[in-house]
């Protein structure tokens, strides 16, 4: 009796093993059909086992992917449509990473499959994988603009509500992965979350600065309501993030863009403005924006930045030319020593190797050359020193003083050129050349004098207005509307 029962148990185990092997074989075959995208193979398998798709749904926890996952991942439109027609429940199935077929199709950019999946189960637009990401997040990370548009039309709230496990909105992901076109589309649909912050307190502007994405920064500042002086969890504005980050060739351009729109360091933000709140991923309080600097302040900041850069370049060039002029003076230097003649007698005009030929032949001209060359050299060095010293040269009156020094350096360079040209030109060709050069130099000096006089008058008028010499009625005249396309570099704000 016991032997018979033992035989029955063995038989049952063999039958179960056979069924399990057959089931695994069918699952393997349907997986291969999904990899090939073969609808014919699928129909053949369904004829053999009409319940194979039901078993797939029941056993998807053991399988890495359902057939619909594979079709969505590989872009097999016909197979995906056949699977959805026969078993719509597959649309909500999750793989081992918690991703639905819509996650995979969105990441890959298969628009038609996305549409078919949405038509079956639009709620999957809000489904999250193990990383807290929705299909919209994955499409944004991959820059699938058409898919984004389709997902937002199906579920408009998908672009606003879902956040990743790090508190990132879909806008954060676009910036982090440098998907500008996707960012533009999302902001066209809804720009309410443009100032939301991730778990580190970073807005999308902070991230754009970290990524050094100049195009994204320009777009955000020109076309959105992004807060340029928002503070992150470390108390840093976008300008602080740029200053603390690793140096890059793009830093100067980004700095000028931010500064031109009123960006400030955290230490420069007034206390009242710094206390205002910006909506974050964890806060839905009333939007309070830090007041941006007035347009006049922005223009002045941009003007100062451009002038400083130009002055630094020109001053460096003049200093280089002046230094080279001392090493290689007009006429060159003596190549040998000459103190005695061939008979051993002292010569009338001795000279030594390495000294200037012009200094021996025309001492007065050499003295003039050295004076003006040294004046230009020291003036240019003074400009460089002031610009790199860190002194607060933030007002136009100081920039005006720097430009006066620059005019002095340039004028000295012109006079040095004139002296060199005059005394290096042979007498046989001096005639017309001398007079043309002389007239040109005088005209240049005259122009410089006019510019200096005009600016001197501007300073006097500014001082008169400041200390009440000009009548109050004149000061309160209506201002002429400013043309935003005009360059106000020569403004009167000292």
**What SS3 state is found at 333?**
strand
Report the C-alpha gap between 282 and 202 in whole angstroms.
Answer: 12
Q: What is the pLDDT of residue 26?
A: 73
Q: What is the pLDDT of residue 215?
A: 92
Q: What is the pLDDT of residue 392?
A: 60
Q: What is the pLDDT of residue 161?
A: 57
Cα 348 → chain centroid: 69
- Domain ranges in the chain? 307-334+348-475
Burial class (CB in 10 A: 0-12, 13-18, 19+), 100: buried
Q: Which two tokens stand for residue 439?
A: 């007239």
Q: With a cut of 70, which residues of the chain have pLDDT below it?
A: 1-24, 57-64, 160-162, 271-307, 390-399, 428-434, 462, 466-494
Q: What is the pLDDT of residue 178?
A: 92
CA distances from 319 to 365, 376, 383, 400, 445 (A): 21, 7, 10, 20, 20
Report the C-alpha gap between 221 and 258 in whole angstroms.
Answer: 8
User: Cβ contacts of residue 241 below 8 Å, gap of 6+?
Assistant: 206, 209, 210, 232
Cβ atoms of residues 358 and 369 within 8 Å = yes
CA distances from 410 to 73, 314, 322, 373 (A): 67, 9, 11, 10
Q: How many residues are given for the chain?
A: 494
CA distances from 276 to 187, 194, 266, 318 (A): 24, 16, 13, 48
- List beta partners, residue 338: 351
The pTM assigned to this predicted structure is 0.51
CA distances from 385 to 234, 325, 388 (A): 33, 21, 5
């Amino acid at each position: 009796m016991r032997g018979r029962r033992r035989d029955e148990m063995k038989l049952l185990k063999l039958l179960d093993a056979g069924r399990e092997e057959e089931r695994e074989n069918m699952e393997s075959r349907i997986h291969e059909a999904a990899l090939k995208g073969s609808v014919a193979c699928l129909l053949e398998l369904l004829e053999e086992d009409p319940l194979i798709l039901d078993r797939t749904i029941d056993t998807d926890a053991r399988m890495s992917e359902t057939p619909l996952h594979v079709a969505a991942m590989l872009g097999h439109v016909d197979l995906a449509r056949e699977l959805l027609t026969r078993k719509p429940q597959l649309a909500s199935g999750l793989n081992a990473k918690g991703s639905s077929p819509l996650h995979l199709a969105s990441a890959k950019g298969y628009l038609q499959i996305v549409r078919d999946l949405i038509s079956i189960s639009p709620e999957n637009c809000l489904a999250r994988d193990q990383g807290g990401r929705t299909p919209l997040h994955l499409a944004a990370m991959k820059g699938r603009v058409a898919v984004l548009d389709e997902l937002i039309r199906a579920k408009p709230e998908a672009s606003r509500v879902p956040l990743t496990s790090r508190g990132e909105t879909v806008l954060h992901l676009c910036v982090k992965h440098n998907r500008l076109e996707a960012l533009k589309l999302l902001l066209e649909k809804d720009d309410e979350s443009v100032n939301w912050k991730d778990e580190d307190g970073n807005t999308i502007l902070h991230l754009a600065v970290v990524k050094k994405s100049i195009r994204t920064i320009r777009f955000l500042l020109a076309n959105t309501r992004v807060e340029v002086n928002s503070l992150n969890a470390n108390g840093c504005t976008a300008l602080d993030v740029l200053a603390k980050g690793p140096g890059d060739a793009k830093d100067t351009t980004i700095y000028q863009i931010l500064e031109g729109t009123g960006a400030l360091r955290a230490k420069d933000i007034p206390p009242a403005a710094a206390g205002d709140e910006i909506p974050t991923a964890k806060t839905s309080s009333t939007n309070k924006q830090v007041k941006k600097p007035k347009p006049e302040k922005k223009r002045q900041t941009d003007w100062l930045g451009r002038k400083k850069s130009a002055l630094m370049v020109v001053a460096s060039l003049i200093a280089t030319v002046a230094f080279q002029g001392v090493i290689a003076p007009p006429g060159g230097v003596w190549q040998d020593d000459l103190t005695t003649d061939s008979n051993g007698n002292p010569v009338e005009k001795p000279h030594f190797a390495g000294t200037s030929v012009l200094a021996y032949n025309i001492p007065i001209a050499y003295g003039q050359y050295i004076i003006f060359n040294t004046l230009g050299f020291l003036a240019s060095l003074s400009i460089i020193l002031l610009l790199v010293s860190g002194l607060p040269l933030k007002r136009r009156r100081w920039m005006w003083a720097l430009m006066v020094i620059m005019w002095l350096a340039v004028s000295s360079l012109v006079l040095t050129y004139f002296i060199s040209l005059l005394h290096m030109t042979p007498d046989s060709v001096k005639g017309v050349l001398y007079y043309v050069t002389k007239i040109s130099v005088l005209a240049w000096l005259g122009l410089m004098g006019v510019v200096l006089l005009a600016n001197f008058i501007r300073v006097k008028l500014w001082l008169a207005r400041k200390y009440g010499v000009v009548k109050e009625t004149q000061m309160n005249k209506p201002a002429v509307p400013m043309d935003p396309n005009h360059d106000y570099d020569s403004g009167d704000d000292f």
